[in-house]
Chains A and B, each alone.
Chain A
Amino acid sequence: MSTTSAAASAPQPTQRPLWRRLLGFNLLTAVILGVGGYYLGWWIGHLINGPSFEYESASDENDVALLLGYVFGVIGFLIGLGFANYPISRLLGRPASLREKEGGGIGRYFGLCTDHKVVGIQYLVGIGVFFFVGGVNAMLIRAELLHPVPTLVGPNQYLSLVGMHGTMMMGMMTSGILGPFANYFVPLMIGARRMAFPRIEALTFWLLMAAGFILVSTIFFGGFPTGWTGYEPLNDEAVMGMDSYIVFFALVGLSMAMLGLNMMATIITMRAPGLTWSRLPIFVWSVFATAVLMVLAAPMLIATLSMAALDRTIDTSFFITGGGGSSYLFENLFWFFGHPEVYILALPGFGIVLELIPVFTRKPLWGYRLAVSGMLGVSLLSFFVWQHHLFVSGINADLRPFYMLSTEIISVPTGFIFLCVMGTLWKSRMSFSVPMLFCLAWVFNFLIGGLSGVVLSDVPTDTGLHGSFFVMAHFHYTIMGGLIFSFFAGIYYWVPKMLGVRFNEMLSKAHFWLMFIAFNSTFLPLFVLGIDGMPRRVSTYEPSLQGLNVWVSISAFVLGFSMLIFIYNVVYSLIFVRKPAEANPWHSKSLEWQVPTPVPVNNFEQIPVIDHDPYDYGTPVALGGGQPATAGA
């Protein structure tokens, strides 16, 4: 991490011995208090749920103890980081500092820091680590699928791998772009000095990290067999590892809701003078649309998982058919969150692509208003489609034409995004820098993801494809091909500003080409496997499908290898070579590139006054049917 220059310019903290500096509110204390809290909760759980519940003690499983352990552990972790200091000081009437660790040395990356730039980098590294863990799971899954019968891992471990991979990716990557890039760049793009709620900003990050460790800890409690959807009543039957899933996702939901609220508040209230809504960078619009989804959808997830936890611990029957509940209820509630969730993943990708393409084509963004309405339209419609996940479940079968229509209508606003991309590319002056390559790959990937979605939205064809590898290939095209490709576009585009260091061009291009080719070679054959009737989440399949599965597995390993190139590139360029980046290497006209590198603690000496949007590229044209360049949108 690039901290040397920042540390040099900041006032040096008084040099105290190392052991003294390690005391205080930081990650070390947090881990100690977190572990202590966990054992406290565990102990209390056994106290209140001991001999009185015979079957619990007989089965050597105590969900109450584990859930309390996690909750107390997280609380201890947050106290250790110093999140309790401010409210306690205020309660006691003492003066409390609003700022935490701004402008400090490397230590600020390991604790509660209210500088949005530090939080952005924390997010980037933290999410990167868990993305890597999820990716390793995927490699193990593909290694197992080399053979049509289980060879490498048992069926229980296999399901745990599938569940961990899915849950890690779907949970952690919800903040994959909003966490690092929106936290870092939204204040810079809207001419603000900070986020609206800097402590909440830090809290969202540390909650997410606690959640990640809790999900990984599931391996100590037997894993969980439900995949990322956690369907009841299998959820209720599952061993204690299921509680890790529940706490993980609830914490992710909490983090997501607060992150969204923070983004909305910041974008609404903290824009620089003159930065009207029609001059807002399109990335900020995408963050706004995503934030609305996060705030509205995440509470549903938290509520659903609380019900599941109550079913598991005190034997309520929200989802238990024999007890008066319904397995449909969980499916409904989960997908009411779950479908907006996939747009939470996809929308920031739209924003990054539309934000970057004007820079690399030297043209203004074509159809600004169309792009904004596309994003808001997707955001709104995503709440009306959830039952397309339940087309064959038998619920509300007569309503299926409605969900078919609403699902297909979503492709209209999504089509706006494609039109805006195409309009911007038309007669442009494209240069193929690495971020641009990722954006172009996004267009191709998301096209395939979107078109395969149309087939799934149709009830008769979905009958053949539901629950098959076709679905799996479809959402990997939209999420990996959409989100992850734009995530890497963002990394190659913005990290030179964040860390002040350039990437090695050759390694970056090697990473792109290998990733793009291996990605398509991995997931295109999965459509075929799905059409041939291979179900998801199985470690046994028809021997006749082995050839294609081996092909997919090898491609997946190459895809994994391309990530290793990226990691090598990061280590090589950002830690060893450290070629300083220019302040504005892409000649962007956006506000975040006009500040010096490294970005000063307060971002702007003077809050800028904005009089046009950031897409002021290109030479005016006299003819050609276009609107005049000054239209502003």
Chain B
Amino acid sequence: MSSEPSAAPSGLAPEPNHTVRFATLWVVVTLIALPLVIWVIGPLIGPGSASDQSSSVGTDFTVLAVIATPVATMVVMFLLYSIVFFRQPKGGALEGPAVRGNARVQTTWIIVTSLLVLAVAVFGTVRLEAGDGAGSGSGPSPLTVPKGPKLPVQVIAQQWLFTYRYPTYGGVETTELVLPDNEEVEFHVTSLDVIHSFWAYKLGVKADANPGVDNVAFVKPEKLENFTVRCAELCGIWHGFMSNAGRVVTPTAFETWIHAEQKRLAPATKVLPKYSTTYLPEPTRRGE
């Protein structure tokens, strides 16, 4: 069964116009898929709407999914279409057409994919500058800062717990994260030992805690909700257990709570080191 050049399949039924058929299929499937992505899958994606940041994560995800859908449907439909229509007949040894390329198709592809990619990058950059990525750790002096008054909260990570200091309330350090509703919060994330990551999933906030680094992230909670804070960077054996509870309360409830905490923790606050954006850790070596 050597591969002698076989007769072209001209004796068979006339070839259908595959290009038109495939294009139709692609457009139809894409038109079915897009509404599903926008209205069915989109709302399920993301951490919900507990804060401005979590809503924007969900929205951006949906936009990117919409851009990706035609690409996905094209490749998948192409695979299926080829598998169905371009097969070797049973026991056959037919050769395909010796086409080695098509300059027009290639050029179009390069231009279209480049434009698509640029569009995604421009979209990402614009949304980032508009404040969508403000919930991500943006270093000690972020370029884009939300306007208006902000409540500074310091997140101190260490093996294996998070504590929180409120510098505008005498630097009191609490083990629970309580945030006022509808107020811009400015997190200052730092670590006392190894790298951790402060992840308040429902709030759409994630910022790495590096020793000696002040990593700033912003969020504006928009729902009275309880949430969980987890560590998102492997930090040693109890990494999986490094989580604690947080809640968003009304501004008045927050004031009541923080004043009660200030009073309750006053003896502890007195012996704490002075509030600082970073605390230089002693190099911890094993055996010390």
Residue in contact with B57 in the complex, picked from A323, A390, A460, CB distance below 8 Å: A460
Contact with A along B110-144 (1 / 0, CB 8 A): 10011001001101110111001101111110110
Residue in contact with A447 in the complex, picked from B75, B109, B139, B212, CB distance below 8 Å: B75
Min CB gap A354→B, angstroms = 13
**A466 touching B232, Cβ below 8 Å:** yes
**A339: interface (CB < 8 Å):** no
Residues of B within 8 Å of A620, CB to CB, are 98
Contact with B along A589-633 (1 / 0, CB 8 A): 000000000000000000000000001011111001111110101
Q: Which parts of B41-95 form the interface with A (CB within 8 Å)?
A: 45-47, 53-54, 56-57, 60-61, 64-65, 67-68, 71-72, 75-76, 78-79, 82-83, 86-88, 92-95
Contact with B along A387-422 (1 / 0, CB 8 A): 000111111111011001100110110011011001
**B254: interface (CB < 8 Å):** no
**A525: interface (CB < 8 Å):** no
Residues of B within 8 Å of A427, CB to CB, are 18, 86, 96-97, 99
**B286 touching A618, Cβ below 8 Å:** no
Residues of B within 8 Å of A411, CB to CB, are 113, 117
Residue in contact with B99 in the complex, picked from A363, A395, A447, CB distance below 8 Å: A363
Q: From known contacts A398-B143, A454-B64, infer whether A619 and B98 are also in contact, taking CB-CB under 8 Å.
A: yes
Q: From known contacts A59-B287, A234-B195, infer whether A155 and B237 are also in contact, taking CB-CB under 8 Å.
A: yes
Residue of B nearest to A527 (CB): B45
Tell which of B161-169, B244-252, B267-275, B277-285 binds the partner.
Answer: B277-285
**A287: interface (CB < 8 Å):** no
Residue in contact with A155 in the complex, picked from B93, B102, B139, B241, CB distance below 8 Å: B241
**A506: interface (CB < 8 Å):** no
Q: Which of A226, A234, A468 has the most CB of B within 10 A?
A: A234
Alpha-carbon distance between A158 and B234 when the two chains are bound, in angstroms: 12
Residues of A within 8 Å of B237, CB to CB, are 155-156, 159, 225
Residues of B within 8 Å of A459, CB to CB, are 124, 128, 132-133, 136
**A327 touching B64, Cβ below 8 Å:** no
Q: From known contacts A444-B79, A454-B120, infer whether A429 and B102 are also in contact, taking CB-CB under 8 Å.
A: no
Min CB gap A468→B, angstroms = 7
Alpha-carbon distance between A531 and B105 when the two chains are bound, in angstroms: 36
Tell which of B149-157, B172-180, B201-209, B255-263 binds the partner.
Answer: B201-209
**B78 touching A58, Cβ below 8 Å:** no
**B125 touching A367, Cβ below 8 Å:** no
Instruction: Tally A residues with Cβ within 8 Å of B.
Output: 116
Residues of A within 8 Å of B135, CB to CB, are 463
**A618 touching B240, Cβ below 8 Å:** no
Residue in contact with B46 in the complex, picked from A364, A531, A537, CB distance below 8 Å: A531
**A59 touching B240, Cβ below 8 Å:** no
Q: From known contacts A454-B120, A460-B127, A619-B5, infer whether A364 and B100 are also in contact, taking CB-CB under 8 Å.
A: yes
Residue in contact with A327 in the complex, picked from B71, B142, B195, CB distance below 8 Å: B195
Range, interface on chain B = 35 or more
Q: Which parts of A341-391 form the interface with B (CB within 8 Å)?
A: 361-370, 390-391
**A105: interface (CB < 8 Å):** no
Residues of B within 8 Å of A361, CB to CB, are 86, 96
* 4 additional contacts (CB under 8 A) given A464-B204, A536-B234, A618-B96: A362-B96, A363-B96, A397-B143, A463-B57
Using a CB–CB distance below 8 Å, which chain A residues touch chain B? 55-56, 58-59, 61, 155-156, 158-159, 225-227, 229, 231-234, 236-239, 315, 317, 320-323, 326-328, 331, 361-370, 390-398, 400-401, 404-405, 408-409, 411-412, 415-416, 418-419, 422-423, 425-432, 440, 443-444, 447-448, 451, 454-455, 457-464, 466-468, 531, 533, 535-542, 587, 615, 617-621, 624-629, 631, 633
The 6 closest A-B pairs by CB, nearest first: A538-B240, A618-B98, A59-B287, A626-B99, A394-B215, A363-B96
17 A-B contact pairs sorted by A residue (CB < 8 Å)? A361-B86, A367-B101, A368-B100, A400-B133, A404-B124, A408-B124, A423-B101, A429-B86, A432-B87, A447-B71, A448-B72, A458-B60, A461-B61, A618-B98, A621-B99, A624-B99, A626-B100
